[in-house]
Amino acid sequence: SLKVVKELTEQLGYDQFLLVEARQLPDLLEYATARQGIGDYYRTVQQRVRGTDAEEPRVAADLPSAFRIRAEAFGGARVEVDGRLIEDIEWRSERSKEMFFYLLDRGRPMRKEEIALELWPDAGPKQLNSAFHTTLYRLRKAIHPQVVVQSGGGYRVNPEFDVSYDAAEFEEAARSSEDAEPGSAEWAEGLSRVASLYRGPFASSFDSAWAEQARRRYEDMYLSSVLALASSALHRGDAAEAIRMAESVIATDPLNEDAAYRLMEAHVQRGNLQLATRAYRRLYDAMRSELGSEPSPRVKALYQRVLSGDALDDTL
- In tens, the pLDDT along 282-301 reads 999 999 999 999 999 999 99
Q: Which domains does the chain have, with CATH numbers?
A: 2-51 (no CATH), 69-164 (1.10.10.10), 166-314 (1.25.40.10)
Which of 65-79, 131-145, 255-269 has the highest average model confidence (pLDDT)?
255-269
Q: Are strands 84-85 and 78-81 parallel, antiparallel or unpaired?
A: antiparallel
Give pLDDT, residue 27.
Answer: 60
C-beta separation of 282 from 267 below 8 A: no
Question: What are the φ and ψ backbone dihedral angles of 295, each rounded to 5 degrees?
Answer: -60, 160
* Stronger pLDDT, 304 or 316, i.e. the higher one: 304
For residue 11, the surrounding DSSP H or E stretch is helix 2-12
Evaluate whether 242 touches 233 at the Cβ level (below 8 Å).
yes
pLDDT at 270: 93
pLDDT band at 26 (very low <50, low <70, confident <90, very high): low
Distances (CA, A) of 128 to 99, 123, 131, 133, 208: 13, 6, 5, 9, 15
Q: Which 3 state secondary structure label does DSSP give 316?
A: coil
Distance CA 266, CA 256 (A): 16
Q: Which of 53 and 125 is assigned the larger pLDDT? A: 125
CB contact at 8 A, 120 and 231: no
Give tens-digit pLDDT for 143-153.
998 899 988 88
Arithmetic mean of pLDDT, 19-35? 68
Interatomic CA distance for residues 60 and 58, integer angstroms: 7
C-alpha distances in angstroms, 53 versus 47, 99, 130, 153? Answer: 12, 23, 19, 12
Q: 64-68, 184-188, 284-288: which range is least confident on average?
A: 64-68
**pLDDT tier for residue 46 given thresholds of 50, 70 and 90:** confident
Please give the angle made by the CA atoms of 254, 170 and 92, to the nearest 5 degrees.
Answer: 90
Which element (helix H / strand E) includes 111?
none
Average pLDDT, the chain: 87
Is the pLDDT at 61 greater than 60, yes or no?
A: no
Q: Which of 143, 168, 6, 149 is nearest to 73 (CA)?
A: 168
Question: Residue 4 pLDDT more than 80?
Answer: no
Looking at residue 118, its pLDDT comes to 94
Facing residues of 154 across strands? 151
Q: How far apart are alpha carbons 149 and 196 in whole angstroms?
A: 32
Q: Among the listed ranges 3-17, 121-135, 300-314, which one has the minimum average pLDDT value?
A: 3-17
Amino acid at 147: V
pLDDT of residue 316: 40
State whether residue 131 is helix, strand or coil: helix
Looking at residues 112-136, what average pLDDT do you find?
A: 87
User: What are 189-224's pLDDT values in tens digits?
Assistant: 999 999 999 999 999 999 999 999 999 999 999 999
